[in-house]
A and B are shown apart, each in its own frame.
Chain A
Amino acid sequence: MLTSQGVAKHYGDHIALAPLDMVLERGKILGLLGPNGAGKTTFLRMVTGITRPDQGVLRLFGEPHRRDHLRRMGYLPEERGLYKGMRVAEQVLYFASLRGMSRTDAQHALKGWFERLQVEGWWNREVADLSKGMAQKIQFIATVLHRPELLILDEPFSGLDPINAVLIRDEMLRLVREEGTTLVLSTHNMGSVETLCEEVLMLHRGHKVLSGRVDEVRETARKGRIRMTFKGNLMAFVDQLGPRAELLSHESEVLASGETRHEVALALPEDWSMSALLRWAVDHVEVLEAVPVRMSMEEVFVQTVEANGS
């Protein structure tokens, strides 16, 4: 669906995007992450044909990037606006016509979207009268009305209240599931990355610093962290553990039976797997539970940025 082979862009001496390799398959949701100025917008502008790569090959729908691919794409930039002095429907229909949609098709589709996003009755409203959240919904409709196969949304939830954010999120998921739309989501909202995205691509200072499936990324980034619950003597356990693993935190609870239950978070070195730890631990304490800790995307994000220098 979307392939980048060594695509790069620089402005003068500033490297906006170092050669980037990536592949996004049809029907997937990709989270495009990175701190401000990481090169996300630079990349998206090249995908949407607003700018051209200095080098590398960008492929869309299995073909080298062409201008007439643009009508099969929907782009909601982070910096977005609407024309003042136009009415809501008129404006959305204008964008649809620029993308080659016939007026009747566009009107029909628009009616459907007005119902789904619960904005019936806004048809003839002046754009100037819309609140930020309302304008956001209209911009979303303008982005998806022509049924794009590739949908690129830059911070789609900013400015939306929780109820409308859920409404838009559900519509995004519906498009992916029912229409097979491929979605690129550029956001700083890590919660939405966890709930929505299957894959992530993280950029930092123009370089790719992380990519892969979300669950794998969270798994890999945990760096041997596990949480273990056991009964027994905590002090003795820690003593015997020694420098083999790092104790990150612990909590203790006295049970009704008079025994004490401890919950510890540990960071294991690379040469010590969780099963090795368990084999060692059963000789010293009564292990009740042990689970690998999955890092939140937020932690992954911060850790990756720190590891690559902020």
Chain B
Amino acid sequence: MSSPNHPTFWAAWRLIARREYITRFRRKAFLLATFLGPVLLVGMVASIVLLTQGTEEEVKVYVVDLDGLLTVPGPQGSLVPWCPSCFPERRLLTYRFGREAKTKPALEADGFTCMIMLDEGIVQSEKGQLLQVNPPSSSAKRSMERDLSQALERLKVREELEVDYDAYMALKTDIQLVPLDIDTKERKGSEQGALGFLFSVFMFMFVMIYGMHVMRGVIEEKSNRIVEVVLSTVQPLQLLLGKIAGIGALGLTQIATWSLLSWSLMFLLGLGLEKSAWLESWTAAQGMAAGTADFQTVLAAQEELAFLLDIDWGVMLGCAAIYFVLGYALYAAFFAMIGSMVEQESDAQYLLLPVMLPMLFSYILASMSIEAPESTLAVVSSFVPFSSPISMMVRLPMGVPWWHVVVSMLLLLATTALLLALAARVYRVTILMTGKRPTFRAVVRWMFSQSHV
């Protein structure tokens, strides 16, 4: 008789992991999500860049200066501001002045997009009415507010103070706080927090999705009874670890593909923009010399995106991968345990709640951490193994002492190993049970005893 060699523990583990990986990898849904995800992501960035710059429309404002606060008669019966420098010529914003309000048809006929009404009351109330034919963009509105404020400030200084405006401007103080890291003196702020939050969202998503994969896989094996055939060849621990490893590798594949594809697409997007006429018009609009701008300059000019250039992507992605692997394995142990206790997925719903709570908690905490990244709660939760994969990702882009990361990872590693061992003990009992769902007490008993198998 042929006498094949019995595969070693890790050889069988690898075979199991390979099957889990391959059968899921070739599913259409996986391929679609893997390749479509980055396209959507880069599409979002591209649309932010293109939409905010390219589609902004010209704003023509008609200012009704009822009490003559801002204007003096100009040539040909027109009104001009007595402080022309307060209303500079801008590419997309022009002012015309009058003493009387216009009707909407009159405004439209003259091509105005909105009308500002102001009288003496504005000096006290600091509120003016903006009557919109077409609502101006928020940046245009900010410009108008700035221009009007400056003009009225000059007026106040001229009328009420005994200093001239230039002297006043010299005295005027406007404090801005620039957040810097105490060690590196690098600028850090809420944008980095937002990026960290984005990472934690992805972390939450990936751990959930792939954890659920593990649970579904266990339920499938249990409900279609194949598990008994498998267990007559391999040990439950091999099956459990193989499944978790195979599905985890799939998750890593997706993360790697997303990172790589996103990066390539961003690169292509930049290249495309630099070659296109769009960049020229953009450069011109920014008042820069032609040919001096590249994609990075464009990104840097976007308030919402500029911080992307300051991130150490290698560290971010490396840590994300490690936290994903460990965090996923931790939760997969729970998911596998739950899967082995039920016959079908719908039975698992309420068992899932206690598992998802710590994750949801750290997710909510992460969203709060953007405002207060170094709060005690945020720091503590970045060490607690159940929340650290999510919480640490928020803190990371803002700069974290390296030993924080190492300790947090080691704690997570130890907890994950312990939980996997306990889960395997429950799994080997419950995977063969049919009918009745085990009690919580029984599960705890199985966790801490060797028998019952």
List residues of A whose CB falls within 8 A of some B CB: 11, 45, 48-52, 54, 67-68, 70-73, 75-77, 79-86, 94-95, 97-102, 105, 139, 142-143, 146-147, 149, 179-180
Contact = CB atoms under 8 A, between A and B. Distances in A.
Contact of B226 (A52, A83, A100): A83
Interface in B4-25: 4-7, 12, 15-16, 19, 23
Contacts of A50: 228, 231-232, 432
Contact of A94 (B19, B27, B452): B19
Contact of B233 (A71, A82, A149, A180): A71
Contacts of B294: none
12 contacts: A50-B228, A68-B6, A72-B1, A72-B3, A75-B232, A79-B225, A80-B228, A83-B19, A83-B226, A98-B16, A100-B5, A105-B2
Give 6 closest A-B pairs by Cβ, nearest first.
A81-B224, A79-B225, A100-B4, A81-B226, A48-B232, A75-B232
A76 B27 CA distance: 29
Given A81-B224, A179-B1, A100 B7 contact: yes
Interface string B220-262: 1100111011111111000000000000000000000000000
Nearest to A181: B1
Given A51-B453, A82-B226, A77 B2 contact: no
B451 interface: yes
B4 A52 contact: no
Contacts of A71: 4-6, 233
Contacts of B432: 45, 50-51
Contacts of A101: 2, 4
Nearest to B3: A72
Contacts of B221: 83
B243 to A, nearest CB: 12
B4 A102 contact: yes
B235 A67 contact: yes
A214 B440 CA distance: 47
A80 B226 contact: yes
A75 B234 CA distance: 12
Given A79-B225, A105-B2, A70 B232 contact: yes
Given A75-B232, A98-B230, A84 B220 contact: yes
Contacts of B451: 54
Nearest to A44: B232
A77 B6 contact: no
Contact of A77 (B3, B15, B229): B229
Contacts, number: 94
Contacts of A81: 224-226, 229
B4 A146 contact: yes
Contacts of A99: 4, 6-7, 233
A76 to B, nearest CB: 8
Contacts of B15: 94, 97-98
Contacts of B5: 71, 100
Given A94-B15, A99-B4, A102-B4, A82 B235 contact: no
Contacts of A82: 224, 226
A147 B228 contact: no
B75 to A, nearest CB: 82
B23 A77 contact: no
A207 to B, nearest CB: 22
A84 B16 CA distance: 15
Nearest to B9: A67
B97 to A, nearest CB: 73
B436 to A, nearest CB: 12
Contacts of B434: 79
Nearest to B432: A50
A80 B232 contact: no
A76 B3 CA distance: 20
Nearest to B431: A50
B57 to A, nearest CB: 53
B147 to A, nearest CB: 65
A50 B231 CA distance: 6
Given A50-B432, A54-B451, A98-B234, A77 B1 contact: no
A77 B228 contact: yes
B23 A85 contact: yes
B232 A105 contact: no
A86 B1 CA distance: 29
B16 to A, nearest CB: 8
Contacts of B2: 101, 105, 146-147
A147 B27 CA distance: 33
A149 B1 contact: yes
A79 B228 contact: yes
B223 to A, nearest CB: 8
A159 B371 CA distance: 64
Given A48-B232, A79-B225, A82-B226, 8 more contacts: A51-B453, A54-B451, A70-B232, A80-B226, A85-B23, A85-B27, A101-B2, A139-B229
A100 B6 contact: yes
A80 B230 CA distance: 10
Nearest to A142: B229
A98 B233 contact: yes
Interface in B56-115: none
Contacts of A79: 225, 228, 434
A88 to B, nearest CB: 14
Interface string B436-453: 000000000000000111
Nearest to B433: A11
A72 B4 CA distance: 8
B4 A80 contact: no
A86 B233 CA distance: 19
Contacts of B452: 11
Interface in B148-205: none
Given A84-B224, A102-B4, A49 B19 contact: no
B409 to A, nearest CB: 33
Contacts of A86: 19, 23
